Each structure stands twice: as structure tokens, then as C-alpha cells.
Structure 1
């Protein structure tokens, strides 16, 4: 019983830590490895436009989940 409670606590903490990744963190982790951040951060695009950009980058090998893609688009668009 004690082992299962500890295991559940560990899984809960790991889930919270994983879920707490922000669009900004994902952007710097996944997007800036191919190109710098300065150009992307200067561009003024809507969330829909950034979503299309991230989708296009997936065709070039970007490994990103749907929720990560959404959070990156929200971050880059400023929620617009």
C-alpha cells in the first residue's frame, strides 16, 4: 500500500511538471535549435498564422505534440 501511494505521488508530480511546460519553454527548447529566436520573436503574426508556421515546420522534422504546437502559437502571437 505504501509503495503504491509513493508511486502515485511520484506520477502525479511528474505529470504536473510535464503539464507546466509553457509555450515559451517549448519554443526555446524545440524551435530555436534550427534557427535563432530573434527573427521569430520580431514577427507579428496571429495565432492562426503561427499555428500554420508550426505545422509547416513539422514537415521539416520538428517533433512537437498538438498541445505543444498550440502553446507555442499562443506564446508567439501574444494570445491574439
Structure 2
């Protein structure tokens, strides 16, 4: 499955992500995480995956910078 494909409200956890975290403790079960370098389909699919990864990284960076700037206010 693709954990980035979540159609749940923002505050609900992904069932796939929750399942992966629970099942990793079971012997014989492995969770494999792939990224854009693992996509072996059409170049367009790779570009789309990269774009989503970039957007997610930028979102995290923005949130982090907002946290830092809030801490500096007095």
C-alpha cells in the first residue's frame, strides 16, 4: 500500500501506518518502505512521487521554522 494515499480526516491515523507499526513486532513480518528511486514505472510516475515528497518536506520545514520563530517571540 501507499501510506501517502490517505483520504481520512486530518486527525485520524492511517490504518496502513498503524498496521505496519503493529505487525513489525511479529517474527516473519517485514515492512518495506519505498521512495521515488524505487519506482520503476513511467518517468511521469517518478516525477509525481518526487513532487509529493518535495511538498511534504517543504511542509515539514515550514512547520519547523514557524515553531522556531514562535519560540523567539517575547
TM-score greater than 0.5 by the shorter chain: no
Give the TM-score normalised by the residue count of structure 2.
0.31
Structure possessing the higher relative contact order (Cα contacts under 8 Å, 6 or more residues apart): 1
Give the TM-score normalised by the residue count of structure 1.
0.29
- Name the structure with the higher helix share: 1
